[in-house]
Amino acid sequence: MSEMLVTLALILGKLLFIFGVVLFMAAYLVLAERKILGRMQLRYGPNRVGPFGLMQPLADVIKLLTKEDFVPARADKWLFLIAPGITAVTALLVFAVIPFGPTLEIFGRQVPLVVVDLNIGVLYFLGVSSMAVYGVVLGGWASNSKYSLLGGVRGLSQMVSYELSLGLSLVPVIMMARSFSLTDIVMAQQSIPFMLLNPVAFGVFFICVLAESNRIPFDLPEAENELVGGFHTEYSGMRFGLFFVGEYINMVVLGSLVTVFFLGGWHGPWLPPLLWFLFKVLAVCAMFIWIRASMPRLRYDQLMNLGWKILLPLSLVNILVTGAVLLGLG
């Protein structure tokens, strides 16, 4: 009985830890992005609230909370209200299977640094992350606005064209690690990360992850310049904030996934594992920001072409080649 209570307390502790860290990171990622983007465009970015603008996330939250929570007339009210939640929650849910450190020994107990070590972690991630697009689509549909609807439709078709390659680019990883569990995948990269073993899969996965995060160059559902704000045109206040935070939580989560699948997770010399993990995630996020500063938005048909005509065949061939090589090596 007490054994179970301790396990439960441990899981709860880990949950709170992850929740806190991810939300904190998401809040400061917004600031970091605005600052880095500013510097890359020869501006300063936010620097008024607190020293170096470090209190900016707090100011943003206060602002968002005090804004009117507006629901357009003739909007589909219930869908409109829950859509932002779907985006944020699904992003958070993925983190349940991400291992962020090796198993710890606390008071003689084995504590794995992951909320649940599912033996089908990869499938869980693929399933939950495709749910995230429902937030975009339902939000766009329920707003009863043409721009939002267009954004939602774009989100959906974008999902269809990259999700396949996303899954297929993970197949070589699974073949090399011989397991669907994320912990095992990290363990398999003890000596050499999969990014070096299979750079093609890494490239395809990274591009798909960019599309998954709805960021430039694949931010078609938002596309400020064409669609006002895309699927979140009609949202205001904290509901818009949820979409926004969801995007950045997603960034952290996808950064962690790139780390887990290809960068060797917490493995690394000298530094403690947790620091290595954090460092790698932040590096991927910095890469996201750098890409956003440097690239234009793809056109709608260009994205489709890229997804169906390049990424999909590439990942299929890659699976065959990886299979052949693995077979050859025995």
Q: How far is CA 207 from the centre of its chain?
A: 12
Q: How far is CA 319 from the centre of its chain?
A: 24
Does residue 39 bind other proteins (CB under 8 A)?
yes
Q: In terms of DSSP bridges, do strands 101-106 and 109-113 run parallel, antiparallel, or are they unpaired?
A: antiparallel
Among 42, 73, 327, 329, binds other proteins (CB under 8 A): 42
Q: Which one, 56 or 256, has the nearer CB to other proteins?
A: 56
Number of Cα atoms under 13 Å in the Cβ half of residue 57? 16
Question: Least separation, in Å, of the C-beta of 54 and other proteins?
Answer: 17
Q: Which one, 44 or 70, has the nearer CB to other proteins?
A: 44
Which two three-digit tokens encode residue 178? 């011989």
Does residue 32 bind other proteins (CB under 8 A)?
no
Q: Which one, 62 or 295, has the nearer CB to other proteins?
A: 295
Judge contact between 132 and 90, C-beta under 8 A.
yes
How many residues sit close enough to other proteins to count as binding (CB under 8 A)? 12
Backbone angles phi, psi at 109, to 5 degrees: -110, 145
Judge contact between 202 and 195, C-beta under 8 A.
yes
Residues 238-267 that bind other proteins (CB under 8 A): none
Does residue 203 bind other proteins (CB under 8 A)?
no
Question: Least separation, in Å, of the C-beta of 60 and other proteins?
Answer: 20
Q: Which one, 105 or 301, has the nearer CB to other proteins?
A: 301
Does residue 282 bind other proteins (CB under 8 A)?
no
Cα gap 84→90, rounded to integer Å: 10
Q: Which residues fall within 8 angstroms of residue 71, CB to CB, at 6 or more apart? A: 77, 80, 81
Question: Least separation, in Å, of the C-beta of 288 and other proteins?
Answer: 13
Does residue 17 bind other proteins (CB under 8 A)?
no
Does residue 293 bind other proteins (CB under 8 A)?
yes
Which two three-digit tokens encode residue 5? 């209570």
Does residue 10 bind other proteins (CB under 8 A)?
no
Which two three-digit tokens encode residue 206? 């990274």
Question: Least separation, in Å, of the C-beta of 1 and other proteins?
Answer: 57
Name the DSSP letter for residue 181.
-
Question: Least separation, in Å, of the C-beta of 277 and other proteins?
Answer: 25
Q: Which one, 260 or 289, has the nearer CB to other proteins?
A: 289
Stretch that binds other proteins, among 15-23, 38-46, 102-110, 299-307 (CB under 8 A): 38-46
What DSSP assignment string belongs to 74-136?
Answer: T--HHHHHHHHHHHHHHHHHHGGG---EEEEEETTEEEEESS---TTHHHHHHHHHHHHHHHH
Residue 311: count other Cβ atoms within 10 Å of its Cβ.
Answer: 24
Among 12, 192, 283, 295, binds other proteins (CB under 8 A): 295
> In the stretch 48-87, what mask flags binding to other proteins with x, by CB under 8 A?
----------------------------------------
Number of Cα atoms under 13 Å in the Cβ half of residue 95? 25
Cα gap 322→61, rounded to integer Å: 47
Does residue 41 bind other proteins (CB under 8 A)?
yes
Cα gap 235→238, rounded to integer Å: 9
Does residue 43 bind other proteins (CB under 8 A)?
yes
Q: Which one, 43 or 146, has the nearer CB to other proteins?
A: 43
Among 11, 15, 21, 36, binds other proteins (CB under 8 A): 36
Q: Rule CB under 8 A: which residues touch other proteins?
A: 36, 38-44, 290, 293-295
